[in-house]
Chain A
Amino acid sequence: MEKQLYELTLKEAIDVAKAEGPWEIIRAVIDRTALLNPRLNAFVRFEPEHFLKKSRKSEDFKGVLSGAPLSVKDNICIHGCETTCASKILRGHVPPYDATVIRKLGDAGAFFLGQCNMDEFAFGSSCETSAYGAVKNPWDIERVPGGSSGGSAVAVAADMTIAALGSDTGGSIRQPAALCGVVGLKPTYGRVSRYGLIAFGSSFDQIGPITKTVEDSAILMNLISGFDPHDSTSVNQTVPDYTKALARNVKGLRIGLPKEYFVEGIDPEVETKVREAANVLKQLGAQIKTISLPHTAYAVAVYYIVAVAEASSNLGRFDGVQYGLRAPGKNLLEMYFETRNQGFGEEAKRRILLGNFVLSAGYYEAYYRKGQKVRTLIRKDFEEAFKEVDLILTPTSPTPAFKINEKISDPLAMYLSDIFTIPANLVGIPAMSLPCGFTEKGLPIGVQLMAKPFDEEGIFRAAFALEQEIRIYKRKPKL
């Protein structure tokens, strides 16, 4: 059967758009989304008309992307386009500027379809905390797609967009990519500008691509990476052509499997498939060895101190003064309390309270500073490990997609579902999740590859080899 236009990978879409213009592809994707979004709730705003109006004549769709249609998570600012982080408190917030990644992709000829659903303020691993309602997993609509970039992952997995951007603070790109069977990359901290990404944990956040293939991921990374004078934490370092790393050659690559990631609690099917993926790489010439990351068990605790502290401060500005929701109040304090109480959902409140607590007088040392110190210990674990290996291979998530409502009432259980993805954010290293198989029930399983800072190329090299060998990206959800 011939491939539908909405099924195209980014690479294929670019080739078609270059030859015939992007309009047929854009139309196919629009129709597909109109059909599926009511069921999956992947988009909070699907307004290609907005971008047609705003942008652009056909000649705007030149550049590398030639008008290939993309989607972004609802926490990346687009000038003139409501951006809400899936929160009630930001209803009506229309940024007066473009995020740097939006500007870069626009310059490269991207066509933006709309904004993808997410956990409110990226607080969650299931896309159930969105003010716009839960997102459904296309492989089983009774299950969560993962989060917080669940909308982006679903849109890619269900061919409602050619590719998408997400953001990753503790696994928010990789975990939904794993649960939806697509490729998600969290770049090295500082590789991609955060300017225009509505902050969650400022020292953790990175924007990254969610794509159908490893090659598509490399294409987008070429476009969004690099120093930005508007982001003090972006690194002034040459960006390589990541597509050059897509050679099917892993000979001599040293890959470590940390023993702390293959322990009780991990789903047996997940473990089997991830170990198989390691074997495939071994057969292709990589050296596989067991390593140790001794402080792994503390990562979630550190994350829920430091990231949440940063979040509580970042969310202070949502006070009803300049934009978004304002609840009436007799005086200023009343307006503050009412606006924030009505505007934030429960998980946001939980994290704001926790974050303000760990920073508050008398507890800073015992919590926040302790967390920062253990963060150093975890960084040292990885520094040591990377003396022995080039890449670290782990499961992305301990389980495949879980049922909607299964964990939502137990925040701690939800937090622990990010146990394998959080360390990369604590350390700032690049990490990718790519599909490595399916459970018997047909749910996707993701394998995670982590590398040294700024060695995205190492990840691309191994991921491309693995993907081309197991070729499961061709399997699509039945919708």
Chain B
Amino acid sequence: MNTKIQYEPVIGLEVHVQLSTKSKLFCACSTQFGEAPNQNTCPVCMGWPGSLPVLNEEALKLAVRVGLALHCQVSEKIKFDRKNYFYPDLPKAYQISQYDMPVNKLGWVEIEIQNGKEIQKKKIGITRAHLEEDAGKLLHEGVKDGSLVDYNRAGTPLLEIVSEPEIYSPKEAYEYLKTLKMILEYLEVSDCNMEEGSLRCDANISVRPVGEMKLGTKTEIKNMNSFRAVERALNYEIGRQMEMAAQGEKILQETRLWDETSGQTFSMRSKEEAHDYRYFPEPDLVPFRIAREMMDSIQKALPELPAARAKRFQDDYQLSAYDASVLTQEKALANYFEACVKEGSDPKTACNWILSEVLALLNAKCISVKDSPVQPKDLLGMLRLIEDKTISGKIAKEILPLMFETMKSAADIVQSRGLTQVNDAQLLEDLADKIVQANPVLVEDYRAGKKKALAFFVGQIMKETKGKANPQLVNEILVKKLGG
């Protein structure tokens, strides 16, 4: 019995996403991020004795919107429950959440996994997506003997999206999160900003021998501040658990914190009892019935989601699966592309320019697509200049950064800098003659079969015309002259 047991990881993810309502879940305080500490508060979200919650209708609608987009069963009747525990960021010592009658149950998200050249699709089940209130924030950094409490965030509406334990690798976890975020952004229900905490993720992870159906003891990992951190933390934790399993050590059910700097997870050692949240129905809120009409109107208002849009881009614009998928990863980018096409651009050309040059410039300057200084009509203006041979593609690549910087149109830049393409055949022929005569050796080489020599002649003409010569025309002329 020397064969080593092979282990596989099983991962479930809990994503908390702040819903972008104007006011909080149970009171009229603003949800604005970044205000002065404890400024966005009132007796309700601070949990003052005697205060009572009243549900924000918009938050429920947004929750249903997400549920429908994630193919969930949206419950006809829902209720809220109290989850009781003590912590200074939880002002009532209970969180109003949903226990056994959540808004959304049993949905799925389809993810794509790149496997070499192939793209594999996989459905990850969603156990539930329920509404709850966010807690305040505790600050420890730089505080002497204690922690500081800021309740601005307390009461912000959260949707907790719980996946089935059907994720079998950190890579899948990463793709799941990416896809989920993409869907949430398309739905315009949240900023999904991990830095500001409007999207957060905890992971449950266990390992089991391959072939075993029963789940192993899981740990919960918290404090991962990016999707890459989730991937790294999972990789670390899988390694740790597999090693322990291989050594025959017992894995403890516990919460562990990811430490980005050291790249390790650490046990949150505490003397506390195992959690017993003592859930019970929230008596201060009545039950809610989600009427068929409300559900229908939300369903009708659902936008086209990324997967459907990518499929349409392939069908309507003959884009490759890869291009379509990259273009639709961000709603604004897909909109940008479609605006160009609607204005009359050739889809493939627009796609190439956007995915290479435009994105590179935006990324370099850290500008979002929406705020791009070069709008679709500006890009289209440039593409038109290429089409009518006013400029070459090479010149266009030089112009585009100038357009980003100056916010001037391509035509203006071409004119002010004298960058119009040289299409004058006579002028180019004269130039070609001159260069051919000056380089007899290379001409012989070319005629002897070293076709690469052509590049030299093209380069020379480009140099003479400061890159403005129509490259196609130059090619034609040279081939004629050299071959003669």
Direct contact of A and B (CB under 8 A): yes
CB contact under 8 A between A319 and B283, given known A95-B49, A199-B49, A230-B54: no
**Chain B residues with CB under 8 A of A317:** 47, 49, 91-93
Find the B residue at minimum CB distance from A234.
B52
CA distance A332 to B280 in the complex (A): 26
**Chain A residues with CB under 8 A of B272:** 333
CA distance A114 to B137 in the complex (A): 37
CA distance A368 to B283 in the complex (A): 13
Interface residues of A in 292-321 (CB under 8 A from B): 309-310, 312-313, 316-319, 321
Interface residues of A in 304-344 (CB under 8 A from B): 309-310, 312-313, 316-319, 321-323, 332-333, 336
Q: Any chain B CB within 8 A of the CB of A99?
A: yes
CA distance A165 to B330 in the complex (A): 59
Interface residues of A in 149-207 (CB under 8 A from B): 194-199, 201-203
Q: Any chain B CB within 8 A of the CB of A45?
A: no
Q: Any chain B CB within 8 A of the CB of A229?
A: yes
7 further contact pairs, Cβ within 8 A, besides A317-B92, A360-B278, A361-B278: A195-B50, A195-B51, A195-B52, A230-B52, A313-B82, A317-B47, A323-B48
Find the B residue at minimum CB distance from A202.
B283
CA distance A276 to B82 in the complex (A): 47
> Does B49 contact A233, Cβ atoms closer than 8 Å?
no
Could you write out 7 A-B pairs with CB less than 8 Å apart? A95-B50, A97-B51, A194-B50, A316-B92, A317-B49, A317-B92, A333-B272
CB contact under 8 A between A229 and B54, given known A77-B49, A313-B84, A321-B91: yes
CB contact under 8 A between A198 and B50, given known A313-B278, A321-B149, A360-B278: yes
Q: Any chain A CB within 8 A of the CB of B55?
A: yes
Q: Any chain B CB within 8 A of the CB of A14?
A: no
Select which of A312, A360, A368 is within 8 A of B276 by beta carbon: A360
Q: Any chain B CB within 8 A of the CB of A231?
A: yes
Q: Any chain A CB within 8 A of the CB of B184?
A: no
Q: Any chain B CB within 8 A of the CB of A356?
A: yes
User: Closest CB-CB distance, B304 to chain A, in whole Å?
Assistant: 36
**Chain A residues with CB under 8 A of B52:** 194-195, 230-233
CA distance A75 to B149 in the complex (A): 26
Q: Any chain B CB within 8 A of the CB of A96?
A: yes
CA distance A108 to B46 in the complex (A): 29
Select which of A76, A77, A93, A309 is within 8 A of B280 by beta carbon: A309
Q: Any chain B CB within 8 A of the CB of A245?
A: no
Find the B residue at minimum CB distance from A323.
B48
CA distance A77 to B49 in the complex (A): 8
Q: Any chain B CB within 8 A of the CB of A90?
A: yes
CA distance A317 to B93 in the complex (A): 5
CA distance A75 to B49 in the complex (A): 9
CA distance A176 to B261 in the complex (A): 64
Q: Any chain B CB within 8 A of the CB of A359?
A: yes
Select which of A232, A309, A364 is within 8 A of B284 by beta carbon: A232
CA distance A364 to B46 in the complex (A): 28
Range of interface residues on A (Cβ < 8 Å): 35 or more
Query: Which of B149, B278, B279 has the largest count of A CB atoms less than 10 A from its CB?
Result: B278
Q: Is the interface of A mostly helix, strand, loop or mixed?
A: loop
CA distance A61 to B149 in the complex (A): 41
Interface residues of B in 155-209 (CB under 8 A from A): none
Count residues on chain B whose CB falls below 8 Å from chain A CBs. 32
> Does B280 contact A359, Cβ atoms closer than 8 Å?
yes
CB contact under 8 A between A198 and B149, given known A96-B43, A359-B280: no
CB contact under 8 A between A203 and B283, given known A332-B88, A360-B278: yes
CB contact under 8 A between A313 and B54, given known A97-B43, A97-B48, A199-B49: no
User: What are the nearest 4 A-B pairs in CB distance?
Assistant: A316-B93, A359-B278, A202-B283, A203-B283
> Does B280 contact A196, Cβ atoms closer than 8 Å?
no
Interface residues of A in 65-109 (CB under 8 A from B): 75-77, 83, 85, 90, 93, 95-97, 99
**Chain A residues with CB under 8 A of B276:** 360-361
The interface bits of chain B over 75-109 (1 if a CB of A lies within 8 angstroms of the residue's CB, else 0) are 00000001010101001111000000000000000
- Point out residues on A near B: beta carbons under 8 Å: 75-77, 83, 85, 90, 93, 95-97, 99, 194-199, 201-203, 229-233, 309-310, 312-313, 316-319, 321-323, 332-333, 336, 356, 359-361, 364, 368
**Chain B residues with CB under 8 A of A368:** 280
> Does A198 contact B49, Cβ atoms closer than 8 Å?
yes
CA distance A317 to B271 in the complex (A): 21
**Chain B residues with CB under 8 A of A312:** 278
CA distance A128 to B84 in the complex (A): 30
**Chain B residues with CB under 8 A of A196:** 50-51
**Chain A residues with CB under 8 A of B373:** none
CA distance A316 to B87 in the complex (A): 10
Q: Any chain A CB within 8 A of the CB of B414?
A: no
> Does A90 contact B86, Cβ atoms closer than 8 Å?
no
Select which of A199, A229, A321 is within 8 A of B50 by beta carbon: A199
CA distance A83 to B84 in the complex (A): 25
Q: Any chain A CB within 8 A of the CB of B119?
A: no
> Does B278 contact A232, Cβ atoms closer than 8 Å?
no
Q: Any chain A CB within 8 A of the CB of B305?
A: no
Q: Any chain A CB within 8 A of the CB of B401?
A: no
CB contact under 8 A between A321 and B88, given known A309-B280, A356-B278, A361-B276: yes
> Does A95 contact B278, Cβ atoms closer than 8 Å?
no
Find the B residue at minimum CB distance from A355.
B278
CA distance A75 to B50 in the complex (A): 8
Select which of B43, B48, B54, B82 is within 8 A of A232 by beta carbon: B54
Find the B residue at minimum CB distance from A357.
B278
**Chain A residues with CB under 8 A of B42:** 97
CB contact under 8 A between A77 and B278, given known A317-B92, A319-B86: no
CA distance A359 to B84 in the complex (A): 10
User: Closest CB-CB distance, B38 to chain A, in whole Å?
Assistant: 10
> Does B50 contact A232, Cβ atoms closer than 8 Å?
no
**Chain A residues with CB under 8 A of B279:** 359
User: Closest CB-CB distance, A135 to chain B, in whole Å?
Assistant: 22
> Does A316 contact B54, Cβ atoms closer than 8 Å?
no
CA distance A321 to B90 in the complex (A): 10
The interface bits of chain B over 131-149 (1 if a CB of A lies within 8 angstroms of the residue's CB, else 0) are 0000000000000000101
CA distance A198 to B43 in the complex (A): 12
> Does B49 contact A90, Cβ atoms closer than 8 Å?
yes
CA distance A336 to B86 in the complex (A): 9
CB contact under 8 A between A316 and B50, given known A232-B285, A310-B283: no
Interface residues of B in 40-64 (CB under 8 A from A): 42-43, 46-55
Find the A residue at minimum CB distance from B43.
A97
**Chain B residues with CB under 8 A of A336:** 86
**Chain B residues with CB under 8 A of A229:** 54
Q: Any chain A CB within 8 A of the CB of B286?
A: yes
CA distance A319 to B51 in the complex (A): 16
CB contact under 8 A between A202 and B54, given known A316-B86, A316-B92: no
